[in-house]
Homo-oligomer: A and B are copies of this chain.
Amino acid sequence: MAAGVTIYDVAARAGVSIKSVSRVLNGEANVSPALRESVNTAVAELGYRRNLSARSLAGSSSSIIIAMVDEALTIEHWRSGRGNDYLSRLELGLLMECRQADYYLMVELVDYGAATLRRDLSAMLAAIRPEGVVLTPPNSDHPVVLDVLDEAGVAYARIGPERDLDRGVRIRMDERQAAEDITRHLIELGHRRLAHIAGPSAYSASRLRREGFEAALRKHGLAVDESLILEGDFTFQSGLQGVERLLALAERPTAVFAANDDMALGALQGAAAAGLSVPGALSVAGFDDTPSALFSTPALTTIRQPVAEMAAAAARRLVPTLRGEMPRSSDLNEETVPYQLMVRGSTGPLA
């Protein structure tokens, strides 16, 4: 069987040297068609596939892409027994792209809070020697991480970066504009008293979404009322509590835009608990389009963030074949992917 087939076997079968086999496999120039042909035949016949370890040990390219996953977040998910939808979609995109480019995907936990982060990271990079790594928010902007990667000469793609916009490959979505769009959608439905349940201000996504919310209000001549802007922590619970506080106000809002779906779902439940019909008495909008957004009653109006596409784009730009083809100008290392406003049942005019 294919187990144990080495480059020597292929070379012997094709009657050439191992170097020639290597050349064909790597698509190097100056190989005669005849040789290429016979090598390819031998490879196919033997079901040969190059050994990953040998390749990365001998050469400079390892064909490994690492998805760096926040350890603290993972432990939290572990404790709660829940999955991580964002990460799952991200990985989906990476996997699809890796398959195309014949790359391998490795997932690594990183303790971004560790005092030894710098050392941990560089040791990890030395151990695995990845060809590229993919960074996710909010760590796409982590200065130590970027520095270590630069020092190690490892290419990296940053999903949703906000700072240092000249470093690495950047894959972005216009969160500010998306938030503005969904807020405008609410305004156009006739709402004049809009509330926002923001995310933790440590996340730049939270800030941008809030900015978009406020910008939409201003553009439509509505005042920004600080008492209608609450800070949650991206959890269902905080959405629930947020809406409870909002509904306790003397002058209730008629529409709520939550900075993510989990909080919006919490708000939805809070509204139901308070006996308010949605969207008759209160409109609720979210952000992310998590699976649950579709399953709630009513289904949640939200912004569909193309996480998988962003990840695929990230991986694509880390693969050297493509990278080599384009100028290394830093402008071209940036890609902005389109979002989508998903209007569903949770938003509408007042009944």
Contacts and interface: CB of A to CB of B under 8 A. Distances in A.
Interface of A: 1-5, 47-57, 62, 69, 71, 74-75, 77-78, 81-89, 91-93, 95-96, 99, 104-109, 118-119, 122-129, 148, 151-152, 236, 262, 265-266, 268-269, 272, 289-292, 294-297, 304, 306-308
23 contacts: A1-B122, A2-B122, A2-B123, A2-B126, A3-B125, A4-B126, A47-B119, A47-B123, A49-B124, A53-B55, A74-B95, A75-B96, A78-B92, A78-B96, A83-B83, A84-B92, A87-B88, A105-B106, A105-B107, A106-B107, A262-B295, A266-B295, A292-B295
A82 B89 contact: yes
Contact of A308 (B81, B124, B297): B81
A83 B78 contact: no
A69 B94 CA distance: 13
Nearest to A57: B53
A85 B124 contact: no
A20 to B, nearest CB: 20
The 3 A-B pairs of least Cβ separation, nearest first, read A83-B88, A88-B88, A49-B123
Contact of A297 (B4, B91, B297): B297
B81 A48 contact: no
Given A49-B127, A57-B53, A83 B291 contact: yes
A51 to B, nearest CB: 6
Nearest to A305: B81
A91 to B, nearest CB: 7
A71 B57 contact: no
A118 B2 CA distance: 9
Given A2-B126, A82-B291, A269-B295, 6 more contacts: A3-B125, A47-B122, A75-B96, A81-B308, A82-B89, A105-B107
